[in-house]
Amino acid sequence: MFRKILIANRGEIALRILRACRALGVEAVVAYSEADRDSLPVQLADEAICIGPADAKRSYLSAPAMISAAIVTGCDAIHPGYGFLSEDEGFAEVVGAHDLVFIGPPAPVLDRFASKESTRRLLASHGLPTIPGSNGVLRDDAHALEEAARIGYPLLIKPSAGGGGKGMRMVRTPRELEASLNVCRSEARAAFGDDSLYLERWLDENRHVEVQVAVDRYGHGVHLGERDCSVQRRHQKILEEAPTPALSPAAREDLCNRAIRAVVEAGYENVGTLEFLVDSAGNYYFIEINCRIQVEHPVTEMLTGIDMVATQIRIAAGEPLGFTQADVVPRGHAIEFRINAEDPENDFRPSAGTIERYLAPGGPGIRMDSHLFAGYEVPPFYDSLLGKLIVWGQTREIAIARSLVALDELVLDGIITNVAIHQALLRSDAFIEGRMTTNLLDRVGGAAFLAAAART
Amino acid sequence: MTDDRARRPAAEDRSDDERTADHAEIDRLATELVPALIAKLAATGLGEIEVREGPWRVRVRRPAAAGTDRGRRSTDRPSRAQPGHAGHGHPPAGFETHRSAREGRGPVAHSTNGASPAGTPVGPGASDQEPSGSAGGSRTDSQTRAVATSPAVGVYQPSRDASPGSRVRSGDRLGVVDMLGVAQEVVAPADGLVGASLVEPGQAVEYGQELVIIELAAEPGQTTGRAPAGEA
């Protein structure tokens, strides 16, 4: 096991990693920017080090600053959390070159899964269904038109590198395709330094279901069930639950078994998440793999009782997984609500301010992962996540009922949050009946969704 | 592992064919390898990357200007970038191609592309103002003294020519903080005399840590006075 870990992140995930380190008996150093000097993880840490100014490019995204901080504080490993440097294979490589361990997949493994397009082909070759798409990256416009005719419209143009919607376009006709290719190339080149594109069939109404896996260095892997993340706004997840209401127990079992078999065969290591789109007929298609701990990992922890962050750290330290598929017994139903500093009445505009009062809800099956405290000034420089409320119940109905109580109990004064949208979701027929699709909230609009909930 | 290029005569004795072949090889590296290295450099935030390919050695480096470029500082404000969306935005500005020294040949190519050095901040400096008001660079605890702070997390080494008692001008180098082998300048926040050092040479320091006290000059606005004694 490691002696001392540098936590290269902020907010609730820095706190979550700190807690995992303590439970494992490993010392931890919290790396922070000037804007986070008074944050809870910094206050609770045994040791903290300022790595740069508020600007993330010069602090949380600066590989040299992070590695230098790890070296001067005597750490032997770096935990990147999610976002920031967590999926940067270049960072993982440089960390390794300085005799430090990157807590995540080893650099060569990250490298193998860095390109979405080649990962899609790799895992397809190991038996995962993928969305019908182009055969490799597009060579030129003529190749694109040829492939498009074979796949059928509407289509999604996607860059092979990166994510976040940059360089992505939905096209309905050959003319639109021709007009969009150059725009996508230049967007992808500007954002990722790589302008290779590929095509995928566009699935209009779909659900987002992902499978959590954990694979140790010795090729022993288990899946920890799936999570449904279909409640999204502009491709950002806002609520996650498990099990997914979209698939039968037999279909869920089949999906999870195929996912873990494919990644073990393809040589994946450490914890990871395979994302799938599920269409209205219940067909599922692999889209991408996330090689890090995810925001919504507590949903899986509530169902399985397994500490995902501790598991991740132990695997990176070279320990065997220590449990088998038979030991993973998901129980009940869990829902996670991302509590964001944004205003659902005003197009989810980000809000900033000082937390005047804060009281986390409690009771059976209730967990609050948050870095908030009364008097905390939410810095405007980073993402809007204030915390996550995770609620467990023996059944989905019980989980929903407990969630309404918990959201009502939550006191969070001084800043505008999206709690109202969660309350509206829990009262909406679409959510109660398990019919949420990834574009529903965008199609209806946040304000209209709130108004509809208020009428019922 | 046998490479007959290693035994070739020195560069000036090469035939036209060899020169043409070398130029073609350089063109190939410039179009195939260099863009990938530039992308990697931009993504990692490193100062420099060097790789070997066959007998070639290719090095991509950020402009050295960032640490000393005081003129740009006033506009070098933090962006409100969201995590996960930044980190691709700073293009490195130069690359060089060298024959490996191991191959017994001098550099045959040295080219620099013209990318802008804008957006390649490395360290904060004396006039770097953060909205929070607690910027790295300087802190004035009274009208008589200012404190030079660390521009980076790393290991501090004072300059030999900035010993206590010596006169410095705002922006003069007081020392460096070594961040992974890249020296980040510690600069005087104001005109004055170098006072007490708050950390030892070789000590690890964090970003913004107070390093050296500067006793302010009697006439801080004066721009000509390098010399006269007795003003303090």
Nearest to B179 by CA among A71, A49, A54: A71
Q: How far is CA B175 from CA A235, B68, B126, B160, B172, in A?
A: 47, 12, 13, 8, 9
Same domain, A188 and A221: no
Q: Cβ separation of B84 and A59 shorter than 8 Å? A: no
pLDDT attached to residue B187: 96
pLDDT in tens, A119-170: 999 999 999 999 888 888 899 999 999 999 999 999 999 988 766 667 889 9
pLDDT attached to residue B220: 46
pLDDT attached to residue B9: 41
Within a domain: A231? yes
Q: Cβ separation of B207 and A51 shorter than 8 Å? A: yes
Least confident of A84-98, A440-454, B180-194: A440-454
> How many other CB atoms are there within 10 angstroms of residue A397's CB atom?
11
Q: Which of A16, A227, A292, A396 is catalytic?
A: A292
pLDDT attached to residue B21: 80
Phi, psi of B185 (to 5 degrees): -75, 135
pLDDT attached to residue A163: 64
What average pLDDT does range B109-135 have in this prediction?
A: 34
Within a domain: A395? yes
Yes or no: say if A366 and A406 are a contact pair by the CB < 8 Å rule: yes
Q: Which residue has the tokens 């376009």?
A: A169
Over 90: is that where the pLDDT of B117 sits? no
Tell me the HSE value of A368 on the side-chain side, using a 13 A CA sphere: 20
Nearest to B125 by CA among B37, B184, B178: B184
Within a domain: A168? yes
pLDDT attached to residue B159: 94
pTM score: 0.76
Over 80: is that where the pLDDT of A415 sits? yes
Calculate how close chain A gets to B181, using CA atoms only, in Å. 9
Tell me how far the alpha carbon of residue A205 is from its chain's centroid. 21
Over 80: is that where the pLDDT of A99 sits? yes
Same domain, A337 and A254: yes
Show residues of chain A in contact with B87, CB under 8 Å. 56-57, 61, 84-85, 88
Between CA A438 and CA A449 the distance in angstroms is 14
pLDDT in tens, A335-354: 999 999 999 888 889 998 99
Query: What is the pLDDT of chain B when averaged over all its residues?
Result: 64
Which DSSP helix (H) or strand (E) runs through A248? none
C-beta pairs of B27-34 under 8 Å, 24+ apart in sequence: B29/B53, B29/B56, B29/B58, B29/B97, B30/B97, B30/B111, B33/B58, B34/B58, B34/B60, B34/B95
Over 60: is that where the pLDDT of A68 sits? yes
Structure tokens at B130: 């953060």
Over 80: is that where the pLDDT of B62 sits? no
Over 80: is that where the pLDDT of B221 sits? no
What proportion of chain A, given as a percentage, has pLDDT over 70? 99
Range picked from A59-73, A107-121, A193-207, B218-232 for highest mean pLDDT: A59-73
Over 90: is that where the pLDDT of A254 sits? yes
Ordered domains of chain B (ranges, CATH): 4-103 (no CATH), 138-216 (2.40.50.100)
Domain end residue (candidates: A201, A236, A257) = A201
Structure tokens at A25: 């008996």
- pLDDT-derived band at B97 (thresholds 50, 70, 90) equals very low
Q: Which domain holds residue A435?
A: 206-455
Same domain, A391 and A243: yes
pLDDT in tens, B179-207: 999 999 999 999 999 999 999 999 999 99
- How many domains does chain A fold into? 3
Q: Is A112 a catalytic residue?
A: no
Between CA A33 and CA B131 the distance in angstroms is 13
Show residues of chain B in contact with A83, CB under 8 Å. 83-84
Over 50: is that where the pLDDT of B219 sits? yes
Listed in sequence order, the residues at least 6 apart from A236 whose beta carbon sits closer than 8 Å to its beta carbon are none
Same domain, A331 and A424: yes
Same domain, A165 and A273: no
Q: Cβ separation of B207 and A90 shorter than 8 Å? A: no
Residue among A50, A56, A85 whose CB faces B81 most closely: A56
Angle at B215 between CA B212 and CA B218, to 5 degrees: 155
Over 90: is that where the pLDDT of A371 sits? yes
Closest residue in A to B41 (Cα) is A90
Same domain, A227 and A352: yes
Q: Cβ separation of A84 and B136 shorter than 8 Å? A: no
What average pLDDT does range B205-217 have in this prediction?
A: 94
A68 CB near a chain B CB, below 8 Å?
Answer: yes
Same domain, A276 and A325: yes
Within a domain: A260? yes
Q: Where are the alpha helices (DSSP H) in A73-221?
A: 89-97, 107-112, 116-125, 141-151, 174-192
Between CA A83 and CA A64 the distance in angstroms is 17
Check which CATH number belongs to the domain holding A347 and give it.
Answer: 3.30.470.20
Check which CATH number belongs to the domain holding A186 and give it.
Answer: 3.30.1490.20
A159 CB near a chain B CB, below 8 Å?
Answer: no
Query: What is the pLDDT of chain A when averaged over all its residues?
Result: 94
Listed in sequence order, the residues at least 6 apart from A176 whose beta carbon sits closer than 8 Å to its beta carbon are none
pLDDT attached to residue A449: 84
Phi, psi of B81 (to 5 degrees): -60, 140
- pLDDT-derived band at A235 (thresholds 50, 70, 90) equals confident
Inter-chain CB pairs, A–B, below 8 Å = 131
Between CA A17 and CA A28 the distance in angstroms is 9
What average pLDDT does range B140-144 have in this prediction?
A: 66
pLDDT attached to residue A115: 85
Check which CATH number belongs to the domain holding A96 and give it.
Answer: 3.40.50.20
| Strands A342-343 and A270-279, sheet pairing | unpaired
Domain end residue (candidates: A177, A201, A225) = A201
- pLDDT-derived band at B141 (thresholds 50, 70, 90) equals low
A69 CB near a chain B CB, below 8 Å?
Answer: yes
b (16+ CB within 10 A) / e for A31-42:
bbbbbbbebbbb
A99 CB near a chain B CB, below 8 Å?
Answer: no
Least confident of A76-80, A380-384, B31-35: B31-35
